[in-house]
Structure 1
Amino acid sequence: MNKEHVEKDRVEKEITIAAPVERVWAVLTEPEHVGSWFGQGEPTPVDLRPGGTMILDHGEYGLFRTTIVEVDPPHRFSYRWASAYPGEQAVDGNSTLVEFTLVPEGDGTRLKVVEAGFASIAIPEERRDTASYESHEGGWTDQVVNIRKYAEQLPA
C-alpha cells in the first residue's frame, strides 16, 4: 500500500472545547443534541449501546443508519457510517468507522475525531462528492467546529 493510499484512508481532527467532558459526551450521544449539530434540528433516534442504531439525518444527502460499535461514557464513542449508501444499515464492508475520544483538559475537553476505512469500501461515482475521503476531510473540519460551538453555548 503506498503512502498516499494510507493517508486517504483516515481523517483525523482534534479540537479543544470550553465545556466539561460530560457535556461534550451528551452533545455526541443524546438525541436532541445530535439532531442539532449534525442533523436537521429534529431529535436523532439513538439506541446507545454496542450494536444499536443511531439514525443521522443529513438532509438532502439522505438518512444514515449508523451501527454503534463502542460506548464508554464519557470518554469513547464510535459507530460505523455507510455514507456512500444512504438508507442502508452500516456494516463491515459498506462503511467507515467514526471514533470520538474525549479527554478532560483543565475545565474543558479535547475532542479527537477519527474516521477510517475509506480505502476498503467501494464508493459509487454519484456518491463521491459526499462520501469520499476528500469530502469527509472537509466535512469533519466543519463539524468539529459545530460541535464546539454547540457544546459551548449549552447552559451548564
Structure 2
Amino acid sequence: MSDLLTIRVRLAAPADRVWRALTDPAELRVWFAEHAEVELPQRYAFWGRFTPEGDDPQQRLLHADDHTLRFAWLLGGVETTSEIELTPQGEHTELTLRQSHFVFSEALDGSTIRGVLQTWWSLALANLNAHLEGRPLLPRTDFTSADLRGELVIDAPMDRVWTSLTDSEQASAWFGFPIGIEPWVGGRYAMGGFEAGYAAKVVDLTPGHKMSVDWGPTGVSTWELAESGGKTKLTFVQSGFDESNPPYAAWSGSVSGLSELRRFHEVPDWQPIWLGEEQPAGSAAS
C-alpha cells in the first residue's frame, strides 16, 4: 500500500526565484544536498551525507515543467515518488510536496529509512525558506554520523527565547503543533498536549538557561542558551540513544521546528511558513 504524505509551505520569494533554488545545482548544494546534478528535462539527482541512503544518486526524473518536478527515488529497496509543485502567490510562492510510501509507524519504530521522509522533507523546506530569506541554514541531518548536535543564533534576548521554549502556548505557536510543558525537573513535555497520552519527562533544568527532556528510546534532547553579542545562541543536542540506530527522524523534526522559533522572534508580524500537512491514514495511531 502506497501512502501519500503532503506538506505545504509558503515561501518568501516569487516562483521564478524558488524554481531557480530548486533546479540550480550550485544552489541545491548550499541548502539541500552535499552533491547535486540537474539537467532538465533528463536528470535531477542529489546524494551525499545529508541525503537518506545517499551513497549514490538514486533518483530518476519523471517529469519537469516550469512549476513541477516529479522524480522516482529508490529508498530501502522501494521506488518511491516525490513531487514538488509551485503555485505563484505574488511575491510569495506556495510549494506543495507530495511523497509516496511514507508510513507513520515506520517513523516511530525506525524500521525503514523511509520513516525519515516526513521530517527530512520538513527540514529541507525550512532550509529552502531560510536560503530564500538570506538567513543562516539550520544544521542538516548527517546520515553518516551519530553525533546529533547543532547551534542557532536568534536575534532576541535570552529571557524571551527561554520563555518561548518553555511556555506551552508560545511553544505550540512556533512549533505549529500543541505542546504541553511543565518546566521543572520531573515535569511532563507532551507533544500533542497533556491530553494526548504519552509525555516525555523533563530530567534536568537550569531556569533561563538549560533544559533536558527524556524521550525514551530516541534519547534525551537538551537545549542550552547563552548570550552572544546581544543575541541568543541556542545549542541543542540529542544523546543517550542507540548509536547503531540514530533517531534521524526525530532529530530532523526537532531541528526543522527551530526554524520557526527563530522566525517567531525575528520576523515582524510573524506567520509560520507551514500551510498544513496531510498525514497518511492511520498516522495518529502509535
TM range (shorter): 0.5 to 0.7
Choose between structure 1 and 2: higher helix proportion.
Answer: 1
Contact 1:14–1:111, Cα closer than 8 Å, also in 2: yes
Greater RCO, 1 or 2 (C-alpha within 8 Å, sep 6+): 1
Q: Scaled by the length of structure 2, what TM-score is found?
A: 0.39
Task: Give the % identical residues.
Answer: 24
Selected match of 2:200 from 60, 66, 70 = 66
Q: How many residue pairs were aligned?
A: 124
Matched position secondary structure for 1:142: helix
Larger radius of gyration: 2
> What are structure 1's unaligned runs of at least 5 residues?
1-5, 83-93, 124-131
Amino acid at match of 1:117: G
Contact 1:53–1:67, Cα closer than 8 Å, also in 2: yes
**Alpha-carbon shift at residue 109 of structure 1 (Å):** 0.2
Matched position secondary structure for 1:45: strand
Q: Which residue of 2 is the match for residue 81 of structure 1?
A: 215
Kindly provide the CA deviation profile for residues 44-80 of structure 1, in whole angstroms up to 9, marking residues without a partner as x.
Answer: 322221011121129xxx7651100122121111111
Q: Which residue of 2 is the match for residue 22 of structure 1?
A: 159
| Aligned-partner Cα distance in 2 for 1:53–1:17 | 26
Selected match of 1:49 from 159, 174, 184 = 184
> What are structure 2's unaligned runs of at least 5 residues?
1-143, 270-286
Q: Scaled by the length of structure 1, what TM-score is found?
A: 0.67
Matched position secondary structure for 2:199: strand
Selected match of 2:172 from 35, 38, 49 = 35
Contact 2:151–2:233, Cα closer than 8 Å, also in 1: yes
Amino acid at match of 2:192: D
Kindly provide the CA deviation profile for residues 80-101 of structure 1, in whole angstroms up to 9, marking residues without a partner as x.
Answer: 124xxxxxxxxxxx34100001
Moved over 3 A (4+): none
Matched position secondary structure for 1:141: helix
Q: Which residue of 1 is the match for residue 252 of structure 2?
A: 138
Choose between structure 1 and 2: higher strand proportion.
Answer: 2
Contact 2:238–2:251, Cα closer than 8 Å, also in 1: no
Amino acid at match of 2:237: V
